[in-house]
Structures are given as C-alpha cells and as structure tokens.
Amino acid sequence: MSNQNNVKIILHIDMNAFFCSVACLRNPALRGKVFAIGRENSYRGVISSASYEARAYGIHSAMSLKEAYSLVPDLIVVSLDYSYYTYYHHRFLEIIRQYSTLVEVASIDEAYVDITEISKVRHPLVVAKEIQKRILKEVGLSCSIGIAPTLFLAKMASDMKKPLGITVVRKRDVEDKLYPLSVADIYGIGKKTYPILIDHGIKTIADFMNPQHKEKIIELIGDTSYSYVYHHVLGNSSNVVDPNRRSESESISTSQTFDRIINSQIEVLYELRKMTREMVQKLKKDHYYTKTISITLRNTDFKTITRSKSIDYTDDFDIIYDIVVDLVEEHYHDESLRLLGVGLSNLKHQHALPKEYNLFTIPYASEKQLAIDHIIEEYQKKYGENALFQKKKKNL
C-alpha cells in the first residue's frame, strides 16, 4: 500500500474484547472461562462485554444479565473497575502516540491514527504489525487494525478480522471486500434499521449499493441516511484524524435500576448522593474537572427524563452534589421511580485547564472543605473506598 496522490493512510486500532482482556490481566484465572463484565450477584442490569468463550454461547454486550444467565446458568460475572480500564487505555495510547501526533481517541478501547507521514519511509503494513506486536508484548492486550484512506473504511476494516487481525481496505478494494458483507456490518447502521432493510431484500452491502434499490432504500430509511452510507462505503468521507474532536464531549455516568420503588425525595437524594460520591472519586482519580452535571429519573411507566446544569469547572463533591440537589428539587415531584442516575460531562483534564485554574480558584471551594476532602481520601486509601459512606439512611 503506497502513499500516492496525497492519499491519507489511516489506522483504526480496536482492542479485542478490551474489558474482558483487562479483567484477565487482573485475574489470570479468568482466562479461557465463560465470563462477562457486569453487576456481580445480581440479575439486574446489562452486560458491558463478554469473553470470546461466552460469545460462543450467544452472550453479547447490552444483553440483560437475566437473559445471559438463562443461556449460561453458571456464567461468571465480574464487576467493572473504571480506574483499572483507564490505566490500560492510557498504556496502549502511549505506544500508538510514538508513531504519530495525529491520534483521535474514539472510545476507551479504540483510536484512529494518521500514519501518512511515517508511511513515507516505512510500509504501513510494517508499522501496523509493529504496533500490534508491541501492544501485545508490552501491555498484554491484543488488537485488530484496519488500514484505509478514510476513518469509515478503517473502522470497517478493523472489524473484519478479530482477534489480532490486520486488514487493508483501499477504495479499489471496496467491491471485493465490503460488498459481500451483511448490511448489519455497516458502521453506523442502527440495530433497528438493518432488520428493516433485510426484511425488504437488502441483505448485503452490494444490495445496498445497487442503483436499482435506491428508491426502495430511501423510502425505508430516508434520503439523508441513504446518502450518508452510500458515500461512506465508496470512500468519499472524512480522512481527517482530529486529536481534539472528542476532548470536549467526554463524560462519565452511573445509574441504577432498583428492585423497590423509590417514591420520596429523601430516598432519591440519598441514592444520588452515593452515586455522586462515586463519580467524584473517578474525577479525582483521573485528574479531571467537570462543567456539566446531570440527573436521570425513570418512573414506573418507563418515562425517562434527563436534566442538567452547567457551572464553572470543578471536582468538588459539595459543589457538584449541590447541583444534583437543585435539579432534584426542581424536577422531581414525588413520582414513583425505578431508575436513578448521575452524569458528569464536558470533562477537562487538569493539564488542559489554564495553570492558574486550580482548586483555589474554583468558586466556592473553601480551605475547610479541601482539608475535609483530603482527610476522607487518606482514610479511604487506608481502609478502602467504601469506608465512611455506608448504606445507612441516618447518614443523610
């Protein structure tokens, strides 16, 4: 694959079963076992990721735990440890950034890399194989890599061989490599959309790209969606890897579906306080500040509302929780609730903020509260993160 006519050379690096692979690094006894990432000792919630052994039984991400246990009654479920996954996320990014300054983080387990410059002196396949081998050897994680002239085609290519695959898709390869695939494999096609296409005879990408089917497809999914997919498949889409594209949209959140009904403001605030404490601990651990705080409420009729409020950047628990309280008081009116959630978004790493922007310049942060936070953090380091904050309503 040569770099001719100013064609960009873009890698999409996708970590294979990232959450499960990291869990195996933490607990090698999980290797080869049928396990998934989710809420331990519970039938509530959904699976975040499944090991390849679990996938062989039909278990997959976003499947309810109840359904997964019905398929494999003795399924091993391991809790998600955010800080641990973040650590390995940064480990593999450190290696990738040694090959290009143009690295765009797509999620915790994938990234786009523009290697056009280094490909002028080294073959892109050699570069991709080296990156793959180094991540496996130095970090202990496997990845699949797609090589293409656009972000879309690179993403499609990385999905074609897993685990530990490397696939090249040039514009001239599209008909041979992409057309035979199912429309379900088109990146960006929703889970509700591709069954509609298949039901109407549009089963493969070749069917989708056939001009004879254009009017039918537009009638089914609309002209905008048709045009988007059509041009992306042909390679007529973005080839710009932007390291800052997602920097302002990072977020963290947590939510819980309850076995009991929550129907009082004091219960709502009690549960949201614990969730807020958990989110703030994640912020501090990874040295982030948040600008936007949100709450999610879902009632017994499954009607869900999300409300948010933006403030100056902070990682202070009391400031953040005060906003949560304000949002609850404004938007909760004693409904019977099944689910509660807290989210922090518009995150910025401390290095991305002005040097003078620190805890002492954040509005409302007092020396007294900083001292209290310090004592709490030191105590929890010694006695565990659950120390001090037990599930007792008298602590409200």
Note whether 261 and 380 are same-domain residues. Answer: yes
pLDDT of residue 363 exceeding 50: no
Note whether 150 and 203 are same-domain residues. Answer: no
Position 91 scores a pLDDT of: 94
Question: Minimal CA–CA distance to 200: which of 214, 186, 185, 216?
Answer: 216
Question: Minimal CA–CA distance to 6: which of 90, 114, 79?
Answer: 114
Has residue 199 been placed in a domain?
Answer: yes
Model confidence band, residue 2 (pLDDT cutoffs 50, 70, 90): very low
pLDDT of residue 288 exceeding 90: no
Note whether 255 and 365 are same-domain residues. Answer: yes
Position 156 scores a pLDDT of: 97
Note whether 285 and 305 are same-domain residues. Answer: yes
Give the separation between CA 10 and CA 304, rounded to whole angstroms. 39
Residues carrying an active site annotation: 110
Note whether 286 and 348 are same-domain residues. Answer: yes
Strand stretches in 315-347, DSSP E? 337-345
Q: Where among 30, 59, 82 does a domain terminate?
A: 82
Give the separation between CA 327 and CA 75, rounded to whole angstroms. 39
pLDDT of residue 277 exceeding 80: yes
Position 107 scores a pLDDT of: 80
pLDDT digits (tens, 9 = 90+) for 146-193: 999 999 999 999 999 989 999 999 999 999 999 999 999 998 887 788
Has residue 241 been placed in a domain?
Answer: no
User: How far from chain centre, in Å, is Cα 11?
Assistant: 19
- Range with the poorest average pLDDT among 51-65, 120-134, 236-250, 322-336: 236-250
Q: Report, as an integer, the average pLDDT of 349-375.
A: 48
Give the separation between CA 390 and CA 394, rounded to whole angstroms. 10
